[in-house]
C-alpha cells in the first residue's frame, strides 16, 4: 500500500503525520488531460426482482420516506478499512452497492419512487487526486450516477455529495421518515430515532424470511462452492501444521470463486472444538485429534453457506470419536426430519436434542431420566450440547435477526425458508462429569436446509457427513 497518502482536505484535523499536501498547481495538473473511456453499462440481471421487492416494501408504508443505507467503510487500523460489504437489506432491495450509497423510497401518490445516491465520477476534478475515500485514482472507477440508474433499475440517481442537503431538507419538511439504522452514522445523526425505525428493520427481516427461486439457487451455489473449499481444507490438513493453514485454504477458494467467506472461519482442532466460536485459529493440528471446520462461502450475490464438518486429522476416527460423532449425526438426521412446512421452527431442535440427551444418558454422562434431563426447568443436557440447533440463513449467516420472535423462533416453518440444522456435543477438557476418554472431544455437524412444499431439501448434502463417507472423502482427496 502506498505510504504517501494524500489528505482528503489539507487541514491539520484530516491530515495524518505522513500525509502529503499537494500544491494547487499539481492538483490542477492532475485534474485534466484524461481520456474518457466508455463504460460497460448494462442492467443488473436481477433488477426486476429488486424493483418488485421495493414496490412490496413501499406498499407497507404509504406516505413515508424510507431510507436504506448501503453503509460506510469500517476502519480496520488508523486510515485503512475492512473490505466493504453493503448492508444486507440494501443488497436485498437494490443489489451490490458502493460505500456511502443510500436508497430512498419517496412517496409518489399511492406508491413510491426509488432514488439512489451514489458516488459520482470525479475524473477531471480535484477530488480525483485528493480524496482517498472516493477519489477514483485511489479506489478505482465508480459506476457513477447515470450508469447506476440503469444498473440498479431505479427511478432516479443522484451524486452522493448531494445527499446531506437532501437529508436536511427532508428532516426540516417534517415528513414521516423511517431509517434502517446503524449502517451509516452520518444519516442516523440527522434524524431523531423513532419507533418506526426498529419496525422497518423488523419488517425487512420478515420479508427476507421466505426465499424465492433465485435466492434458493444462490444458496445452493454457495453450498457447492463451499464443498470445494472443504476439499481444499482437507488437502491442506494432510501435511498442515496449524489451524491457520486450514483457514487459509478455505478462504483462498472463497476469494478465487466467489466474494468472500460469509463469516469468520472456525478451524478448531482438538479441544479448541469445545469453544463454540473459536476463530483465533492459531492452534496446532495434532494427529489423532479432530478438526471442527465451520465455514461457508459467500457468493457475489452475498448469499452465504454455513456448513460444519468435524474431520479426523489422521483420516480415521478413533473409537471414542466415532461414538460421539455417530451420536451427533443421528441427532442431526432427526433434526432434518423435523423440517417441514407447518412445523414449529423449534421442532428440529426438539428432535435433535432428544436424541442427544438419550445418547448422553446411554453413555452414563447424564445420570437422570430423559424427561428430567430435557425438562425446561433443568435443561441439564445443555452442559454438553451448549447451543440451539437452527438459525435462518440467507444474505446473513444469521439471517433475519430483526424479525419478531412470533414469526421466527416461535413461528411456523414455511416453504422457502432456509435454516441450518447443527446439533453438537462438546466435552470440555476439564469437565469432571465426563469420562476421561471423551474429554476434549467436540463434534458439530451442520447443514443448510430449505423448507419445501412437502418436506425439506438439504442444500449442502453435496458435502459428505456420514462417518464412513467422511473417512472415504478424506482418503480420496489424499490419494
Question: Mind telling me the catalytic residues?
Answer: 79, 277, 294, 306, 387, 391, 398, 422, 426, 444, 446
What is the Cα–Cα distance from 293 to 270, expressed in whole angstroms?
A: 11
Question: Are residues 271 and 263 in contact, defined by beta-carbon separation less than 8 angstroms?
Answer: no
Hey, what's the torsion of the CAs at 186, 188, 189, 191, to 10 degrees? 130
Residues 6 or more apart in contact with residue 32 via CB below 8 angstroms: 124
The secondary structure of residue 58, as a DSSP letter, is H
In terms of Cα–Cα distance, which of 162, 163, 192 is closest to 177? 192
Question: Are residues 269 and 291 in contact, defined by beta-carbon separation less than 8 angstroms?
Answer: yes
Cell numbers given for 82: 475492512
Residues 6 or more apart in contact with residue 102 via CB below 8 angstroms: 67, 68, 69, 70, 116, 117, 160, 163, 184, 187
Q: What angle do CA 318, 323, 329 make, to 5 degrees?
A: 115
| Residue owning grid cell 440503469 | 150
Helices (H), 285-428: 319-337, 347-362, 370-374, 382-385
The secondary structure of residue 440, as a DSSP letter, is T
Question: Are residues 389 and 335 in contact, defined by beta-carbon separation less than 8 angstroms?
Answer: yes
Amino acid at each position: 500500500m502506498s505510504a504517501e497518502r494524500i489528505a482528503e482536505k489539507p487541514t491539520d484535523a484530516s491530515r495524518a503525520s505522513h500525509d502529503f499536501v499537494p500544491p494547487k498547481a499539481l492538483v490542477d495538473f492532475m485534474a485534466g488531460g484524461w481520456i474518457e473511456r466508455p463504460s460497460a453499462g448494462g442492467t443488473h440481471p436481477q433488477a426486476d426482482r429488486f424493483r418488485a421487492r421495493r414496490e412490496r416494501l413501499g406498499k407497507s408504508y404509504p406516505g413515508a420516506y424510507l431510507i436504506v443505507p448501503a453503509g460506510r467503510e469500517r476502519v480496520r487500523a488508523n486510515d485503512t478499512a475492512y473490505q466493504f460489504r453493503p448492508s444486507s437489506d440494501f443488497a436485498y432491495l437494490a443489489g451490490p452497492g458502493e460505500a456511502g450509497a443510500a436508497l430512498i423510497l419517496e412517496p409518489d401518490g399511492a406508491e413510491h419512487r426509488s432514488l439512489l445516491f451514489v458516488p459520482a465520477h470525479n475524473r477531471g476534478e480535484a477530488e480525483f487526486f485528493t480524496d482517498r475515500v472516493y477519489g477514483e485514482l485511489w479506489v478505482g472507477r465508480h459506476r457513477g450516477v447515470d450508469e447506476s440508474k440503469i444498473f440498479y433499475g431505479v427511478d432516479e440517481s443522484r451524486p452522493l455529495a448531494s445527499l446531506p442537503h437532501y437529508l436536511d431538507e427532508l428532516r426540516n419538511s417534517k415528513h414521516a421518515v423511517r431509517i434502517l439504522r446503524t449502517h451509516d452514522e452520518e444519516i442516523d445523526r440527522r434524524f431523531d430515532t423513532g419507533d418506526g425505525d426498529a419496525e422497518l428493520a423488523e419488517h425487512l427481516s420478515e420479508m427476507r424470511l421466505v426465499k424465492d427461486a433465485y435466492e434458493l439457487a444462490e444458496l445452493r451455489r454457495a453450498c457447492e462452492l463451499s464443498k470445494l473449499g472443504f476439499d481444499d481444507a482437507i488437502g491442506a490438513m494432510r501435511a498442515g501444521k496449524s489451524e491457520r493453514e486450514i483457514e487459509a485454504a478455505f478462504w483462498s477458494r472463497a476469494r478465487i470463486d466467489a466474494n468472500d467467506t460469509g463469516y469468520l472461519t472456525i478451524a478448531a482442532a482438538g479441544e479448541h472444538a469445545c469453544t463454540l466460536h473459536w476463530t483465533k485459529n492459531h492452534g496446532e493440528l495434532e494427529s489423532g485429534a479432530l478438526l471442527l471446520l465451520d465455514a461457508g462461502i459467500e457468493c457475489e450475490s452475498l448469499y452465504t453457506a454455513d456448513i460444519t464438518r468435524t474431520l479426523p486429522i489422521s483420516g480415521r476416527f478413533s473409537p471414542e470419536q466415532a461414538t460421539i460423532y455417530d451420536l451427533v449425526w443421528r441427532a442431526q438426521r432427526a433434526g432434518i426430519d423435523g423440517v417441514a412446512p407447518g412445523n414449529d421452527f423449534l421442532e428440529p431442535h426438539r428432535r435433535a436434542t432428544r436424541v442427544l440427551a438419550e445418547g448422553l444418558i446411554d453413555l452414563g454422562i447424564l445420570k437422570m431420566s430423559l424427561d428430567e434431563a430435557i425438562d425446561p426447568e433443568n435443561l441439564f443436557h445443555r452442559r454438553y450440547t451448549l447451543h440451539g440447533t437452527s438459525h435462518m440463513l440467507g444474505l446473513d449467516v444469521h439471517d433475519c435477526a430483526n424479525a419478531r420472535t412470533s414469526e421466527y423462533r416461535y413461528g411456523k416453518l414455511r416453504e422457502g425458508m432456509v435454516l441450518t440444522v447443527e446439533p453438537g456435543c462438546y466435552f470440555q477438557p476439564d469437565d469432571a462429569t465426563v469420562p476421561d476418554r471423551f474429554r476434549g472431544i467436540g463434534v458439530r455437524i451442520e447443514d443448510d436446509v430449505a423448507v419445501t412444499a412437502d418436506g425439506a431439501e438439504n442444500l449442502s448434502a453435496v458435502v459428505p457427513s456420514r462417518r464412513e463417507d467422511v473417512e472415504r472423502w478424506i482418503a480420496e482427496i489424499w490419494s
